Structure 1
Amino acid sequence: MLVSYHRYSASRAAVDSNMDDVCKLLRSTGYSSAVGAKRPANYPEDYFRRIPISATFIEMLIGRLRSDDLYNQRDISSVKLTYYASNCTIGLLELSEDAVKCKVYDFSLPLARTQKYSTSHSGCHALRYLIFRAADTSQSTGQNERDSRQHFPDNWVTTIYMGIVVNLVDAWDPYKASKTALNNTLNVDNVRLQRALFRKNLSWTTFQKLMNCLRDCNVTIRWLILHNAEGPWDVNKRCRQLREQVMADSKYNPQRLFELLLNTGQLEYKLKEMFKKMLVEKQDNWEKYKLEGVERMTELSEVFSGTKPLTRVSKNDNLQAWFKEMSQQITSLNYDDSTAAGRKIVQLIQALEEVQEFHQLESNLQVRQFLAETRKFLHQMIRTINIKEEVLINMEIVADLSYAWIMIDSFTRFMQQGIKTNPGLVIKLRATFLKLASALDLPLIRILQANSPDLVSVSQYYSSELVSYVREVLQIIPQTMFSLLFQIIQLQTHSIKEVPTRLEKDKLRDFAQLDQRYEVAKLTHSISVFTEGILMMKTTLVGIIKIDPKQLLEDGIRKELVQQVAAALHSGLIFNPKAKTNELLPKLKSLGARMDGFIRSFEYIQDYVDIHGLKIWQEEVTRIINYNMEQECNSFLRTKVHDWQSLYQSTTIPIPKFPLVDGSINFMGRLVREILRITDPRVTTYVDQMNTWYDNKTKQEVLDSKVFKRIQQSIGTCGLTGVDRLICFMMVRELQNFLSIMERGVLKDKAWLDMFGSFMKSLNPVKGLISNPSKLYSYYQTKATKLWQPFSNVVLKVGQMQLLRRQIANELNFTCKFDSKFLASALQTMNEGLMAEIEAHYQDPSKPYPSEDNPLMFELTSYLECAGITDPLAKIYITPKRLPYFSLFTFLFVITQLPKLDYVKSVGSIVGKMPKDPLDGPPFVCGTLTLLKQFHSENTDQFLALLGQYVKSTVEAAASSAKASELPQEVISTLAYLDDFVHYASLPRQMVEAHIPAYIFDEFKSNCQ
C-alpha cells in the first residue's frame, strides 16, 4: 500500500510539474503584432528564460550555423540542365560533358544565397536570442559581423516560419553588437545596390535561360515582398524610412510584382508538367532512340556489303564489319546501368565522327546523313538517361513561397480585379495556388522525418487553410455573377412583360420588348463567360485536398446565394411596433416578390451555368430557415446549439449573422412576434367562421388566412413550418410558466388547498344538484378573484398560439394537396394505417406495435407536420406531474371568466363584452382545452362533469323564477363555451350530453338561431 501510494504521489508530482511548465510557457508576454504596438521590455529573452535549455546545446547549434548551413543545402545535387525558349515553345536540353554549353544550376550565385539558406537564417535569428539573454557586448561584435555577412548580406527582413516576418532593424535594435554588425548590410551604398538590382530584375524575366530565369524571378519576388511588407516594426523610424526608400527607389508597383508572381507560377507549372511527362516516358524514349540508331547502323552495314544498292557507294568489307559491330554495340547498351551506358555512348559518338573523317564519307550525302542521325539519336539517349527526379526537387526548393503564407493576402484584390476583367486569368492563378501549396512542405518535413502520426492532421489543416484562401479569391466570380443576376432580376420582374397564352397580332410588338430582352441576353452571356473561366481551372490537388472547379463554382454560387437571401430576409422582416398601419402584409408581399425574382432568375441561368438551380435554391433556403429557427429556439433551451454543433451551419458556405434589431435573435423571431403582437387577444377578436382576426376598436381586419399564404410564398414551406415550430417553443414556455405559477402560488399555499378541498366537498357528488348554486359558486368565485390574472394571461396566449397553429396547418395542408396530391394522399394513408395498428395493439397487445427503436413514427411525424396533416389542439407539449384539484381549479377559473364573455349570434361564438377587461372567446376556449390536454383524460372528464353540474343546478334554481322559460345568461355562456370546446377538441357531443341533458342543449341551439 505504501509503495503504491509513493508511486502515485511521484507520478502526480511529475504531472503537476509538467502542467506548471506548460502554464508558464503559455502565459501572456504582453507582445502584440498590431501596427503601432510597442515591444515589451526584455522580450523575447524573458520568454526564452521560462524553459531552461542547456547552454552547451545552444553553443553547438550556434557553432553549426556559423560554420555551415543547418540543413545541408549545399549538398543538393547539381543538375546540368539548361532551358531555352524558342518560337514560343519551351524545350529541354541536357548537354552531357560539354561544360562550355552546360549551365550548372544550383544556388551558388550570390544573388540566390539568401533563398538557399533561408531556413538556416530563421534558425539563426531565433537562436541568437538565446545568446542575447546572456550577453551582447562589444567583444562579440566581430563574430556577429561574420554571422551577418554569412546570413544577412543583402537583406534585413526575413521569415521565421510560414509567413511570420521579422525586420532585423527593429528586432535587433536593443542589442548593440548585433545592431552594429547589421550596419554593413544597411550601408547606403549596399541598400542602393540591392534596390537597383531587384528593380532591374522585376522587368527582366523573358530572355533568360529558363532555370536561371526561375531562380532570378523567385529571388526577386522574395526580396521585394519581404522588404516592402508593412508590420509592427513600422513604429521604428529607421525601418519605416528604409521601406519607404526601397519603394521609392525600386519604383515598387504591387501590380507588376503580382504579374511577375503569376507568370513565374505559370512557367514553373508548365516546366514541371513537361518534366514529369519526360520522366514517365524516359525509358520508352530511350529504347526508341536506341532502336533508331541500331537500324541505321544495320542499314549502313548492308549498304557497304553491296547487297543493297546505293548510288556511288562501292562494296567495302571493312566498313561493313565495322558498322555491323557498331550496331551490336548500340544494342548492348543497358538502360539500368546509366553511368556505363553514358560513357559508352560518348565513345560511340566519337567513333562515328572519326569514321566519317578518316574514311572520307563526307562526299556521300546519304551516308553522311545516316551518320549524323545516328549521332543525334545517341545524343538524345544521353539527354534522356540523365533526366532525373532531382530536377523536380530543385524546382520545388526554388519555387518555395512559404515566406508569403500570410502576405499573399495583400495580392487578393489584384487577383479578384484581374478575374473580374478577364475570367481566363484563373488559369494562371491555378499555377500560383499550386506554387503557394509548396509552402506546405515546410511544416511537414520534420513531422515526416519523426514519423509522427500528426502528419495527416497537420496536412489537413494547412491544406484546408489554403483551400479556404482559394475559395475567398475565386468568390469574386459568384459575386460578379450575382451582380449581373440582380440586373436580370430587375429586368424580368419590372420591365419584361409576361407573354400571355393567347395574344392578338397587333399587340405582339408591345410584348416583344427587343431592347430589354437583348440586355437580358447580354447579361446572361457575361455570366456564362465567368462560368467558363472558372471551369478552365480543371481539377487541382492542393496539398491533400482535391479542388474540383465545378464544385468550387457551385459552392461559390451557394455561398453568394446564402449571403443574398439571408440579407433579404433580414432587411425584409424588420417591423416597427409603433407603426400606425399594419406592416406585416406589405412587407411579406415585397419579400415574396424579391424571392420570386431570385427563383425565376435561377431557373433562367441554370442551363448557362450548368447547375441544378432549383435544387440549390431549395437546399440553401431550407438551410437558412432551419439555422435561423434553431438559433431563435436556443433562447428556449437549456443546452444551446452552437454554430459548430449545428447541422445547418457550414464553414465552406457559412450562413451570416446580423446585428440584433429588437428582442428577437433573427428574422424568424421578429416575424413570429409581429404576428403574435397584432393578434393579441386583448385587442382583437377571432371569428372562426372567417378565419380572421378583427381589431376590437376599428372592427377592421388585422390578419386572415391570406397572410399565411404570403408567408408560404415568401419563405416557403420550410419557413412556414419553422414559424409553427417556433410558436410551439413559445407555447411550451407559457405552459411551463403556468405550472410554475400553479406550484408556487397555489399548491404550496395551505390556505388555497384547504379552500379547494372545502369546495370539492360541497360539490360532491358531482352528478348531484346544488341546492343554492348562486350562493355557493359566488362565494368561491369571490374568494379566488385575485388568483386569476396571471393564469388568464397564460391561457389567452396559449389559445392564441393554438389558433395560429391551426391556420398554419390548414395552409400547409392546402398547399401540399395542391402541389403534390400524391404525397398528401400517401402521408394521409400512412398515418391512418399506423394509427389503426396502434389502436389494434392496445385492444389486443399480442398484435405488433412500432418499437421505440424504430424511427418510423418520428420521421413520419416530421413529414406530417410539413404537410399540415396534424391537429395542434390534440398534441401533448409537456409531461407534468399530477396536480391535485386541477380539474376543479380549471372549472372555477372558467366560470369566473365567463361573465366577461357574451354569446353573439352573428359571430356564432362567445366574444368579450368588457372593454376595460377584454377577453376573447376562442383563445380562451383553446387555451383551457390545451391545458387540460397536458394532463390525464380523467381531468377533462371531471371538468366537463363539474360544468354539467353547474349548468343543471343553475337551470333548476331558475325554474321557479318569473323567467323560467328562458335560460339564464350564465348558462347560455357556459353552453356556448362547451359548444366551442367540443368543436375545437373534435369531441363527440355525447361526452357533454353525458353530464347535461340533451334538451338543454337543444333549447340553447334553438334560441341562438
Structure 2
Amino acid sequence: MEETRNWTVSAYPLPEHRSTALANQAAMLYVILYFEPSILHTHQAKMREIVDKYFPDNWVISIYMGITVNLADAWEPYKAAKTALNNTLDLSNVREQASRYATVSERVHAQVQQFLKEGYLREELVLDNIPRLLNCLRDGNVAIRWLMLHTADSACDPNNKRLRQIKDQILTDLRYNPKILFQLLLDTAQFEFILKEMFKQMLSEKQAKWEHHKKEGSERMTELADVFSGVKPLTRVEKNENLQAWFREISKQILSLNYDDSTAAGRKTVQLIQALEEVQEFHQLESNLQVCQFLADTRKFLHQMIRTINIKEEVLITMQIIGDLSFAWQLIDSFTSIMQESIRVNPSMVTKLRATFLKLASALDLPLLRINQANSPDLLSVSQYYSGELVSYVRKVLQIIPESMFTSLLKIIKLQTHDIIEVPTRLDKDKLRDYAQLGPRYEVAKLTHAISIFTEGILMMKTTLVGIIKVDPKQLLEDGIRKELVKRVAFALHRGLIFNPRAKPSELMPKLKELGATMDGFHRSFEYIQDYVNIYGLKIWQEEVSRIINYNVEQECNNFLRTKIQDWQSMYQSTHIPIPKFTPVDESVTFIGRLCREILRITDPKMTCHIDQLNTWYDMKTHQEVTSSRLFSEIQNTLGTFGLNGLDRLLCFMIVKELQNFLSMFQKIILRDRTVQETLKTLMNAVSPLKSIVANSNKIYFSAIAKTQKIWTAYLEAIMKVGQMQILRQQIANELNYSCRFDSKHLAAALENLNKALLADIEAHYQDPSLPYPKEDNTLLYEITAYLEAAGIHNPLNKIYITTKRLPYFPVVNFLFLIAQLPKLQYNKNLGMVCRKPADPVDWPPLVLGLLTLLKQFHSRYTEQFLALIGQFIRSTVEQCVSQKIPEMPADVVGALLFLEDYVRYTKLPRRVAEAHVPNFIFDEFRTVL
C-alpha cells in the first residue's frame, strides 16, 4: 500500500495536483469513514483536516471502477462533514476551480495538438524534453479527470437545488462543450500512446544504442590519436605526441564507461564532453576542420549516451500512473454518441479511438493489483471479465461503422433494384445513352466508395490487446457486419410474416413475395459489397440467416417442451452477435410459428379439400384454389432451405403434440366409458374370428356405429389434423428434395447412396447377426438423419413420433371410426373420394394419412388386425349384396377398398398386403363397376 502511494505521489510532484495524487487514498477514506460515523457527525477538526488534504478542489470522486459519488449529496446528513465541505463548495471556490481548469485544458490542448503534428515527436526532442512532456500529460489528465467527474450527469441529483446550482455554475464558467472535452481526451490519449510506444522502443534498444555510441566515440578518439602520431598525417597537422597520448587515453576512458553503473557513467560522460571542449579551445584545433569534425562527432556521441542513459523505466511507470482512466469506466459511455458521430463523419477517427480504448484498459490495473499481489488464481477470470466488458464497449462504439455501411447499402439496393436498368446482351447504339444511366451509376459508385472508406477506417485500428483479449479489427468489422445483418434480417422476417386471420383471400402468398424481394435485396447487396470490404459475403449470409431461422424454430418449439431451452443455452444465440427477440403478436412466439399456423389455417381440412394428384387445396364451398405446392417453392425462395427445414421440424413437434392429445382423448372417451366398451366387446364377439364372414353384417356394423356416434367428432378432428400436417411435411420433403437435386446434385447422390448402404448393412445384420452393425455410441445414424431431412430424402409417413403402450380395442376403434366416416364421402371419377356435403366436411387424404400415421405409432399387429377388420367388412358386405342380388357395389365398400389402395400406395408396400384380406378379383373389378 505504502509503495503504491509513494509511486503515485512521486508521479504528481506539483501542489495543484495533490488531490489527484491522493485520489485512491481519498476513495478508501470515504468508505472507511462510514465504519466510524461519529467522525462524520461530530469531529469537525478531523473532517476539516480530511477535506483540506483530500477535497480542497474536488467534491465528486470515483470510489471504484467508475462508481462516482458527489460528497455534497453523500455527506448532507452528517453535520461535521457537511460543515467541513462548505469551503470547497463555496461558489467563489467552485468558480475559481472551474476557471482554472478551463484555462489549463485550453493550454494543454494547444500543446498536445502541437506535439501531435506529423514529424514533431522525434527521438532527440523527446529525450531532451522528458519533464516538459510529462508535465503536459499530467496537466491534461488531471484536467480531464476533474472535468469529466464534475460535469457528469450521474454525479448530480436533478432534484437537489444546491447541486444543480453548483453544476450550472461549473458549466457556465467552463463554457462546457462535451465535444471539446472528448476531443481533448482523444488527443491526450493519442499523445500518451505515441509517447509510450516511443519509450518502449527506446528502452528495448537502450543498451545496444549506448554501446554503439560508446564504440563510435572511442574509435573517433583513436583515429584522432593516429592523426597526431604523424603516421597517418592529415594536411597541415603536425605530429604531437602529447595530444596523441591524450586522445588515446580519452578513447580508453570512453571504452571504460560501464552501462550498469548509469550514475557514474553519466557523470564521467559529462566530464569527457567538457574535456573535449577544452582541448579544442586550448590547443587551437579550430583551424583544422577535420579535427573539429572528429571532436564534434565524439561530443555528439557522448551527448547521445547521456540521453540514452536517461531513458528509464520510471518514466513509463509515471506515464501509466498519470494516464489512469479508471474513474471513467462508466462515464465514458456518455460520450458514445459523440464517438459514433465522429466516426460517421471521419472514419479515420478510429485510430485515435484505439488509443482511448487502450487508455481505458488501464482501468483494469485497479481491480487486478491486489489479486496479483496475493498470487490469487482468480487473476485470470477477473482479467477475462473486465477485458470482455471493455471489448463489448469497443464493439458497441464501432458498431456505427456497420450501421453506416448498411445505410449506404440500402440506398445501393434501392438504386440497383428500381433505378438502374439491366443492360441487354444486344443493344442499338442510339439507345446506349438511355442504358448508360450515368447519374444513378455515379450515385452507386459514390455510396460504394463511402462503404470502402468505412472499412478502411476500422482496419486502420490494427490488432490491439485490450486487457488480455486480442482485438482483431478485421474480425471486429466482420462481427459488426454480422450483427447489423442479423438485426435487419430478423426485423424484416418478424415484420414481413404477420398475418391477418380475417383477410380473404389469405395474405400468405403476397407477404411471402414481398419478403422474398426484401431478402433477395439483402442477398444481392451482400454479393455486391463483399469485395469492397474484404469479407466472404455468401458464407456470412448463409451462416447468419440459418442461425436466425434455427434460433426462431428452437424458440417456437419451446412451447412443446417441458424443459425450455433458454437463450444462454441455445447453440444459435451469441453474446457478440445477438439475435433479437420480438414481442409475440399472437399465440406464436416467432415468425416461423405464425407462418406455420397460417398455412395450417388456410389448408384446414374442415374448410378445404386436398386433391392429391394436383397437390392443390380447394375451398370446399366455392371450389376456388386456396394454395398449391407453389407455396413451398415461395417459402424456399424467401427463407431458403433453412426455413423449409425449420417449418418441417415445427410440424413434427405439432404432430407429436396432436398424437399425445389423441392418446389422452382415447383414454378419456373410450377406455373410461363403459357403454362404448360394451359396444366394442359385443362387436368383437360378433366378428371373431376375423377370417370369417359376418352374418347380417349391416345390422351389426351400423348398430355399433350408432352406439358410438358421439365419440367420432373429436376423433375425426384429431386424425385430420395429423393427416393435414403429414401432407404438408410430404410437400416440404418434395420441395427440399427437388431443390437439392437441382442445386447440389452431387450432395443428393452421395446422401442417397450412403443412406441405401446403411439400410443394406442394417438389413444384412438382422438376417445374419454376425455381420457388423453401427454401435450405440456411433453418431453416424443420428448425423445422417439431419442431412437426409434437410435434403428431403425421407418419408414423413414412416416416422415414429411418440412412444406408446398397449391400448385395448385400438384396431376395432379405428376400424369403426373409418366405416363411420365413409357415408359422409362419395367417389368421383375425376377427383377420387370427396365430401358429400360441405356442411359435414371430411377430407379424404388427411383422413387416410392421419389414420396411417396413428397406426404407425403402435405395434404392427394392430395394423394387421385393423386391415383384417376392413377386409372382413368388405367381404361380408359384398357377400350380403350377392345373397340379396343387389347389382351395385355399396358406396361404403368402394370407400373401404379405396382406403386399402391408398394405404398400400402411401406406405409403398406390395399389393399382396391388402390382398391377404380381400380377394384380388374384388380389387380388379371394383373400379370397372363404378
Shorter-chain-normalised TM-score: which range?
A: over 0.9
Could you tell me which residue of structure 2 aligns to residue 258 of structure 1? 182
- For the residue of structure 2 that corresponds to 1:204, the secondary structure is helix
- Per the TM alignment, residue 337 of structure 1 is displaced from its structure 2 partner at its CA by 2.6
* 2:93 aligns with one of 162, 166, 190: 190
Are the aligned partners of 2:698 and 2:877 in contact in 1 as well (CA < 8 Å)? Answer: yes
Deviations 1:770-821, CA, capped at 9 Å, x for gaps: 1100110111111111111211111000000000011001100110111111
CA–CA separation in structure 2 for the residues paired with 1:188 and 1:932? 88
2:543 aligns to what? Answer: 619
**Cα distance in 1, alignment partners of residues 891 and 244 from structure 2:** 136
- Secondary structure of the 2:600 match is helix
> Equivalent residue of 1:580, what SS?
coil
Deviation, 1:77, is: 9.2
Task: Report if aligned partners of 2:497, 2:594 keep a CA contact under 8 Å in 1.
Answer: yes
Provide Cα deviations, 1:328-359, integer angstroms capped at 9, x if missing partner.
Answer: 11112222232332232233223223323333
Partner Cα distance (1:756, 1:629) in 2? 42
Q: Secondary structure at the match of 1:959?
A: helix
Query: Is the 8 Å Cα contact of residues 492 and 597 (structure 1) preserved in structure 2?
Result: no
Q: Is 1:731 paired with 2:636? A: no
- The one-letter amino acid of 2:94's match is V
Match of 2:58 in 1: 155
Match of 2:21 in 1: 116
User: Are 2:617 and 2:627, in contact at CA under 8 Å, matched by a contact in 1?
Assistant: yes
Q: 1:204 aligns with which of 86, 107, 111?
A: 107
Note the C-alpha offset of 1:987. 2.0
Determine which of 127, 136, 140 is the counterpart of 1:217: 140
Match of 1:144 in 2: 47
Aligned to 2:125: none
Is 1:970 the counterpart of 2:875 in the alignment?
no
| Whole-angstrom CA distance in 2 between matches of 1:558 and 1:71 | 48
Helix, strand or coil at the partner of 1:853:
coil
How far is 1:307 from its partner? 1.7
Amino acid at match of 2:483: K
Matching residue of 1:440: 364
Whether the 8 Å CA contact 2:881–2:887 is kept in 1: the answer is no
Q: Are 2:5 and 1:73 aligned?
A: yes
Compute the displacement of 1:502 (Å): 4.2
Instruction: Provide the aligned length of Structure 1 versus Structure 2.
Output: 909
AA paired with 2:549?
I
Residues 673 and 75 of structure 1, relative CA distance in 2, 3 Å threshold: closer
Offset of residue 373 of structure 1: 2.2
Change (3 A) 1:77 1:304: farther
Distance in 2 between residues matched to 1:507 and 1:798, nearest whole Å: 59
- 1:126 alignment counterpart: 31
Query: What is the match of residue 327 of structure 1?
Result: 251
Aligned partners of 1:314 and 1:419: how far apart in 2? 69
Q: 1:532 to 1:311 in 2, by over 3 A?
A: same
- CA drift of 1:514 comes to 2.4
Q: Which moved more, 1:870-879 or 1:972-981?
A: 972-981
> Equivalent residue for 1:925?
848
The separation in 1 between residues aligned to 2:5 and 2:285, in whole angstroms, is 51
Q: Counterpart of 1:25?
A: none
Counterparts of 1:665 and 1:737 in 2: how far apart (Å)? 21
The one-letter code sitting in structure 1 at the alignment partner of 2:64 is Y
Q: What amino acid does structure 1 have at the position aligned with 2:24?
A: T
Selected match of 1:987 from 877, 899, 909: 909
**Superposed counterparts of 1:657-736, under 5 Å:** 657-736=581-660
8 A Cα contact 1:562 1:655, kept in partner:
yes
Checking the alignment, whether the CA contact within 8 Å between 2:95 and 2:169 is kept in structure 1 is no
Distance 1:642 1:679 in 2: 32
1:609 to 504, 511, 533: 533
CA-to-aligned-CA distance 1:813-867 (integer Å, 9 cap, x gap)? 1101111111111111111111111111111111111112111111111111111
**Aligned partners of 1:995 and 1:363: how far apart in 2?**
131
Check whether the contact 2:705–2:820 (CA below 8 A) recurs between aligned residues.
yes
Distance 2:515 2:41 in 1: 73
Contact between 1:423 and 1:533, CA under 8 Å: does it hold in 2?
yes
Query: Which AA in structure 1 matches 2:72?
Result: V
Shift of 1:474: 0.4
Distance in 2 of aligned mates of 1:1007 and 1:341: 122
Please give the TM-score of this superposition, normalised by the length of structure 1. 0.88
Q: Distance in 1 between matches of 2:3 and 2:656?
A: 67
Equivalent residue for 2:498?
574
Q: Looking at secondary structure, tell me which structure has more helix per residue.
A: 2
1 CA distance for matches of 2:111 and 2:557? 66
Matches of 2:421 and 2:656, distance apart in 1: 48
Specify the code of the residue in structure 2 equivalent to 1:918: P
Residue identity matched to 2:507:
E
Bigger Cα displacement from structure 2, 400-409 vs 914-923: 914-923
1:915 matched to which residue of 2?
A: 838
Report the alpha carbon displacement of residue 429 of structure 1 after superposing the two structures with TM. Answer: 0.5
- What's the RMSD between the two structures over aligned residues? 1.5
How many angstroms does 1:754 deviate by?
Answer: 3.6
Return the alpha-carbon distance in structure 2 between the equivalents of residues 944 and 76 of structure 1.
92
In the alignment, is residue 1003 of structure 1 matched against residue 906 of structure 2? no
CA contact (8 A) 1:727 1:801 kept: yes
1:932 maps to a residue whose letter is: L
What percentage of aligned pairs have identical amino acids? 63
Q: Which runs of 5+ in 1 are unaligned?
A: 1-68, 79-105
Tell me the CA shift for residue 363 of structure 1. 3.9
Alpha-carbon deviation of 1:744?
Answer: 2.8
What letter is aligned with 1:148?
V
CA distance in 2, matches of 1:531, 1:730: 46
> What residue is the counterpart of 1:247 in the other structure?
171
**Could you tell me which residue of structure 1 aligns to residue 123 of structure 2?**
none
- 1:349 aligned residue: 273
Separation in 1, partners of 2:465, 2:742: 48
Q: Which amino acid aligns with 1:948?
A: G
Instruction: Give, as a single letter, the amino acid of the residue that structure 2 aligns with 1:904.
Output: N
Cα drift, residue 506 of structure 1 = 4.8
Distance 2:2 2:554 in 1: 55
| 1:916 positional shift | 2.4
Contact 1:910 1:977 in 2 (8 A): no
- CA distance in structure 2 between the aligned counterparts of 1:605 and 1:136, rounded to whole angstroms: 64
* SS of 1:541 mapped into structure 2: strand
Q: Aligned residue for 2:126?
A: none
**Cα distance, 1:400 vs. partner?**
0.5
Matched, 1:463 2:387: yes
1:40 paired residue number: none
The separation in 2 between residues aligned to 1:355 and 1:825, in whole angstroms, is 94
1:137 and 1:931 map into 2 onto residues whose CA distance is 81
Partner amino acid for 1:467?
V
Please name the residue that 2:706 is paired with. 782
| Residue 959 (1) aligns with residue 900 (2) | no
User: 2-side partners of 1:349 and 1:745: how far apart?
Assistant: 112
Change in 2 beyond 3 A, CA 1:456/1:674: same
Out of 218, 232, 236, the position equivalent to 1:294 is 218
Q: Which moves more between the two structures, 218-227 or 235-244?
A: 235-244
SS of structure 1 residue aligned to 2:34? helix
Report the more deviating stretch, 839-848 or 548-557. Answer: 839-848
Q: 2-side partners of 1:339 and 1:135: how far apart?
A: 49
For residues 518-564 of structure 1, the C-alpha deviation after alignment (integer angstroms, 9 at most, x for no partner) is 21111111111111111111100000000101000000000000001
TM-fit CA distance, 1:511: 3.1
Letter in 1 for 2:226: E
Answer with 859-868 or 746-755: which moved more.
746-755
Shift of 1:505: 4.6
Q: 2:231 aligns with which of 289, 304, 307?
A: 307
Which residue matches 1:169? 72
Residue aligned with 2:465, SS: strand
* Deviation readout 1:107-165 (Å, 9 max, x if unpaired): 12122212211100101111111221x45454x11121111110011111101000000
5+ residue gaps in structure 2? 113-131
For 1:305 and 1:505, the matched residues in 2 are separated by: 90
Displacement of 1:70 after TM fit? 5.9
Structure 2: distance between partners of 1:559 and 1:287: 53
Q: 2-side partners of 1:605 and 1:187: how far apart?
A: 60
Q: Distance in 2 between matches of 1:219 and 1:75?
A: 16
